[in-house]
Amino acid sequence: MAVMKFGGTSVGTADAMRQVIAIIVEKRKQDAPLVVLSACSGITNKLVKIADAAGEGHLEEAKQLVGEVRAFHLDLIGALIGSEKIRKEVTEKIDVYLTRLERLTEGVEIVGELSERSKDRFCSFGELLSTTVFATALNEQGVPCEWIDVRTVMITDDRYGFARPIEAICQAKTEEIIRPKLESGVVVVTQGYIGATEAGKTTTLGRGGSDLSAALFGAWLHTDSIDIWTDVDGVMTCDPRMVPEARSIRVMTFSEAAELAYLGAKVLHPDTIAPAVKQNIPVYVLNTWHPESKGTLITNDPALLAGKSHGGLVKSIAVKKGQAILNIRSNRMFGRHGFMSELFEVFERFAVSVEMISTSEVSVSLTVDDAVVSDSFIKALGALGEVEIEHKVATVSVVGDNLRMSRGVAGRIFGSLRNVNLRMISQGASEINVGVVVGESDVAAAVSALHCEFFAESQCAGIFEKPAGS
């Protein structure tokens, strides 16, 4: 049994949906999968805009956007569904949702206020629409499948916008509603990202929540794997837009994947992976457009790790832009206790999250999200010591489980970065990452140099050297 999750771009056009159908047909030769879908790409963002516009009283703008959502799905149906009769039926089904969306828009505009609860209601339509169209197309292609409203299974608490499942109930509902269908060979198509409270109020798990939905179902059904289908070749050695030689990683551990996600790589969010880790269910990150390629396997299972080349010192290079460095220097720190707690109290008070930190006896350097640095925050820090800010920096982190046990890695990292101005250096306590902070304009050079050092040594040697005499 497997869970297959397809992201927004995999269901964003008729061509993409056809491709997904072909992938499911292939998978079904072994077993009927549970198919979890995101909204079509761009639709959730539009729904958020509709919600905000309605809440701010911009009814015309909101209605215009609802019109765009309608037109998008009608076009999709037109391009995807062959039979006129079936087209008509599915159009009626999505009309029910779109009419509700319109009414909700008007209701919120009249009330003049957008609650978190209403916002989740707005956002839920993306997945309801995408799955309705997709299940119809799958059926038309002759694949026995059933559409399920996930709100009958994914029962959550009422933290709107960030709801979490009540696992005992979800597990029981999954057994009762989903498992028997899969066991009888019927493909089940359902929504990622959304759920409902016990009282039946629609909730969402937070943006990007479809991956979490898929991992949860995998855990509840004890599936053999969780397949996350995206539009890239699995997890890459670094962002291919930055380094064209970037390669996809065959296999990595859960901790490497989590670390990478924390450090800014567009990998699965660590929270997403947690339910799979608990049950030791392998997670595959695959490319809808290259179904034949292997993608990336994320697992802790020694047997699975052993067979594939888990080796390699560095697994991947992650970049987080839009950061700022704060240097706080104070002689009061010297030999005195309590300074750090005073310092962190300021971060607590201003709800600023510290990303990287490195400290000496009389100074502390930290990186934070550049967008959250406010004058009042800096002023509060100023009461503790001299504060210096460097805006527009980025963290570049090298991640790999094998870093922990290897000698000479630091030498290679810093050797390769000899021509880059490093603003700060840090090694995570997990010892599986080494991070440096560089100016944003130096990111490309730093990433290329590191990639060259660890992934393409022979081809790239010397390319990044400064010419003699410069």
Which residues form the interface with ligand ASP (CB under 6 A)? Answer: 7-8, 38-39, 44, 126, 192-193, 207-210
In whole angstroms, the minimum distance from the beta carbon of 375 to Mg ion comes to: 35
Q: Does residue 151 contact residue 198 with C-beta atoms inside 8 Å? A: no
Q: Which does residue 217 touch among ligand ASP, Mg ion, none (CB within 5 to 8 A, set by kind)?
A: none
Consult the annotation and say whether 99 binds a ligand: no
Give the pairing of strands 187-191 and 145-148.
parallel
Consult the annotation and say whether 231 binds a ligand: yes
Q: Which stretch binds Mg ion (CB under 5 A): 5-13, 195-203, 318-326, 439-447?
A: 5-13
**Sequence-distant (≥ 6) Cβ neighbours of residue 363 within 8 angstroms:** 327, 328, 329, 330, 333
Q: For Cα atoms 27, 43, 130, give the angle at the middle one, nearest 5 degrees.
A: 35
**Sequence-distant (≥ 6) Cβ neighbours of residue 259 within 8 angstroms:** 397, 399, 428, 430, 432, 433
Q: Which is nearer to ligand ASP, 213 or 323 (CB)?
A: 213
Q: Which stretch binds Mg ion (CB under 5 A): 31-39, 291-299, 372-380, 450-458?
A: 31-39
Q: Per rule CB under 5 A, is residue 209 in the interface with Mg ion? A: no
Q: Which does residue 195 touch among Mg ion, ligand ASP, none (CB within 5 to 8 A, set by kind)?
A: none
Q: Which is nearer to ligand ASP, 192 or 195 (CB)?
A: 192
Q: Which does residue 10 touch among Mg ion, ligand ASP, none (CB within 5 to 8 A, set by kind)?
A: none
Consult the annotation and say whether 267 binds a ligand: yes
Consult the annotation and say whether 266 binds a ligand: yes
Q: For Cα atoms 357, 361, 364, give the angle at the middle one, nearest 5 degrees.
A: 30
Consult the annotation and say whether 230 binds a ligand: yes
In whole angstroms, the minimum distance from the beta carbon of 370 to ligand ASP comes to: 23
* Number of residues that make up the chain: 470
Sheet-wide strand order for 424-427: 357-359, 363-369, 316-329, 386-399, 433-439, 424-427
Nearest to 39 by CA among 150, 179, 193, 230: 193
Q: Which is nearer to ligand ASP, 193 or 339 (CB)?
A: 193
Q: Which does residue 192 touch among Mg ion, ligand ASP, none (CB within 5 to 8 A, set by kind)?
A: ligand ASP
Integer Rg of the chain from CA: 25
Q: Which is nearer to ligand ASP, 196 or 420 (CB)?
A: 196
Q: Which is nearer to Mg ion, 7 or 165 (CB)?
A: 7
In whole angstroms, the minimum distance from the beta carbon of 303 to Mg ion comes to: 31
Q: Which is nearer to ligand ASP, 179 or 207 (CB)?
A: 207
DSSP per-residue string spanning 126-172: HHHHHHHHHHHHHHHTT--EEEE-GGGT-EE-S-TTS--B-HHHHHH
Residue with tokens 């790239």: 460
Q: Does residue 130 contact residue 40 with C-beta atoms inside 8 Å? A: yes
Question: Which stretches of the chain bind Mg ion, using CB under 5 A?
Answer: 7-8, 38
Annotated binding site: 5-8, 44, 127, 230-231, 241, 266-267
